[in-house]
Amino acid sequence: MSLAPETYDELRAIGARYPEARSGLLPMLHLVQSVEGRITPEGIEACAEVLGITAADVSGVATFYTMYKRRPVGDYHVGVCTNTLCAVMGGDAIFERLKDHLGIGNDETTADAPGQRSVSLEHIECNAACDYAPVMTVNWEFMDNMTPESATTLVDDLRAGAEVSSTRGARLCTWREAERVLAGFPDDRADEGPSAGPASLVGLEIARERGWTAPAADGGSRGELAGGDRTGASEASDTSRAETEVKIDESPADTKHRDNPAKGQEAR
């Protein structure tokens, strides 16, 4: 079954935002997910038709990025960071607890149940929020400093349809609604909730206490950084770069470099 005419109109509107319509493929795929619940063959064909490219081109992009799903996603996509720091801080334990609690495995979705919302579970890579480890996301919104206990409470609230807010963001919407926002159709919640937490602002507070300022973008006057005078830093950097370029130019093409001089091994 092909997509509705209204969806085709919105796909074309997304493409029209860019000098090259093909640049809009990523948000177009998010729009497909907001309508279909996943990337469907019909959605791939629609994007290809609107952009004048092949379905293989679209499919290559859709299978490259992990945010695009080939299987139906639940009302809430729950991601548990299991990368190094989050894992050490408890991310692995959280993920195992949720698998047992929900009765599903990685990249699976809970079965439909009367009066309950469905939840998809996935272990995900670094969320770039290590200062709040262990971190989870719900429809790509942060849930910080989680524990196995708070994680199970969270998914229970989601399944019950309770109103839940991100630790550093807005009230949580459904996955399809979030995908529509990612497609470029705002839900007017951008300014809802805090955008940064205390751990993210520590460096800023230290800088303010010590009167540190960043170098001027136009190369004008510079403040003190790390308690030292930065005057002339740009000139020194330029000189160092020039010296490095000369050394590279003078390096013979057949120069052999030792990987471990102590053992006398040479790179070939």
What's the whole-model pTM score?
Answer: 0.75
> Consecutive 10-residue runs of the chain (268 residues): their mean pLDDT?
91 96 97 97 97 97 95 96 94 97 96 93 91 95 96 97 93 96 92 82 92 82 46 44 41 42 43
**DSSP-assigned letters across all residues of 76-93:** EEEEEE-SHHHIIIIIHH
End-to-end CA, the chain:
58
Segment 12-17 long-range contacts (CB within 8 Å, at least 24 positions apart): 12/50, 14/183, 14/184, 15/50, 15/51, 17/184
CB 142 within 8 A of CB 177: no
CB 182 within 8 A of CB 30: yes
Domains of the chain by residue range:
5-62, 76-182
If we measure between CA atoms, which residue out of 254, 248, 249 comes closest to residue 267?
A: 254
CB 257 within 8 A of CB 266: yes
If we measure between CA atoms, which residue out of 82, 84, 102 comes closest to residue 92?
A: 82
Written in H, E and C, the secondary structure of 249-261 is HHCCCCCCCEEEH
pLDDT for 122 equals 96
pLDDT for 195 equals 76
Coil, strand or helix at 217: coil
The runs of H, that is alpha helices, within the chain are 5-15, 25-36, 41-51, 55-62, 84-86, 92-102, 148-160, 175-182, 198-210, 233-250
pLDDT for 199 equals 85
- Cα-Cα-Cα-Cα torsion 182, 183, 188, 191, nearest 10 degrees, comes to 30
pLDDT for 207 equals 94
* CATH among 3.40.50.1970, 3.20.20.150, 3.50.40.10, 3.40.30.10 for 76-182: 3.40.30.10
Domain 5-62 class in CATH: mainly alpha
pLDDT for 257 equals 38
From CA 159, how far away is CA 116, in angstroms rounded?
5
pLDDT for 1 equals 63
pLDDT for 34 equals 97
From CA 43, how far away is CA 135, in angstroms rounded?
32
Q: How many helices, marked H, and strands, marked E, lie in the chain?
A: 10, 7
pLDDT for 197 equals 81
pLDDT for 262 equals 46
